[in-house]
Structure 1
Amino acid sequence: MNVHQRTQWRGDPDGTRYRTRRSFPAGPANATVLLAGPGSVSVLDGEGRDDRLLGELTGRLVARGAQVLTCDMPVREPNSPSTEADQLARAGRLSHLLDAHQHVLVRPLVLVGFSLGGLALLHLLRSGRPARADTVVLVGTVIEEDAFLTSRVPSLDLVYGGFDLVGYVADADDETLPPAVFAPDMYGQWSARHLVGRNSIEVRVRLLEGLGHTLQPCGKGPHGDAVSALTSLVGTTK
């Protein structure tokens, strides 16, 4: 199936220019998916592994009748931890992306975020933007403190690669505690318990075996099909 696309230029409050893109089917769309990539992805036409995964996911969703909204993201320093400023900058662009497409918005509205993109979506949901999201899928997003979601979200899926290990180092003043490493079957449940909503939220934790932080295959052996799994969670039908 051919993917139709419309790309437009927008501007941040400081004047920085960036592109937004709507990918859509030939006929009427049956859903709207806001797609927020990880920190490794900053432009709509990148060629890295994560870019290719997002491109394949976009194509699959459009083939099932959804329209997909994406945009350029601010470039961040490679291999450095994400900051509050990173998350706020991305959340701002995602909010404007939704605002710019209100006239073509089709329900259900689904939010999908990878890693830093997932944290940016959490910022939006905590601030009540959008007022309601029908489904939220956060990939590789670790939630370490309570997050009160002001937006109405009936269901939220936390998705992790089975090889996405998270390490913690003890405070520098306490040398008695060794570093600790946790697997997603443990920290995924912790993250789920930190999600609190104005209304009841069904939070599900899902593990995809053989995959890493951004759902790329890791190591030898069988691995899950990230694109098929995410397409199923989004719930569009053709």
Structure 2
Amino acid sequence: MRRWSLALIFSLASPALAQAPAAPTTPEAAEAAPTPAPESPAPAAATPEPAAPAPATATPEPAAPAPATPTPAPAAPPPRQRSSAPVAPTPAPTPAPAAPAPTPTPAAPASPPTPGPDGMLVDPKSFPNPNSQPQLSRAELIRRDIQDDARFLFQSLITGDVRSASNELFYPFQLEDKRYATPEELVVAWVKQLRLKRTDLITLYDIEVLPLAEMEKKYGKAPTRLGMDLRNEKDLWAAVGNLSGRPGIFLFRPYRDEYRAFAYTD
């Protein structure tokens, strides 16, 4: 310990000695200079205790990242308070009325077949449509009307249906050389006459309709057995039927808005 104390003193004094001025070498100076008193020994400096090791500085850990602030969820709507009053049920939606289905147009009833010139049934659709025909003259319309009536009368006589034919005639009616005022009288006389003829062997081939004046020019005058003077008669028509090669003649005159037969001969 002693050695350590001396060494410490020496180390502290060396700088002070180095800084002090040098003593004068002249005698005057030496005499004048007082002799320095011996210094008392400095008290031994306390032996410094070894310093305690400084505590190791703790390395600061990196601060943990602050947790992300959670986004507040939207507040739930407050529960709906149930009213004490009874709630009426929601009415069901009324369906829209369905569109009415189109009513199908009923088909036109089929026309019954019409007897042809030879007695065979003919489909009416085979006849020309009158609406598609050109405008006909009055004479042509009269000719077609008389031709249809004459065909019905000839067919009735061939089949022996005299009563049906008698309802379509003009009275008084002239049958050959006799005249009948009523349909009943005519039916009785005509049935007797037809019994003498084989009408089941007769066929109607054709009917030609023309004014009485043209008929006389083409076929000659009407038979005298009719006993009728027709010279002053106007607007008279004749329907000449071909009955298996023999002629049968109906004479027509105007009656109201149509023409009716008033005489017959063959």
| Superposed pair shares fold, TM > 0.5 | no
Specify which structure has the bigger relative contact order, considering alpha-carbon pairs within 8 angstroms and separated by 6 or more residues: 1
Q: TM-score range by the shorter chain?
A: under 0.3
Larger Rg: 2
More strand by share: 1
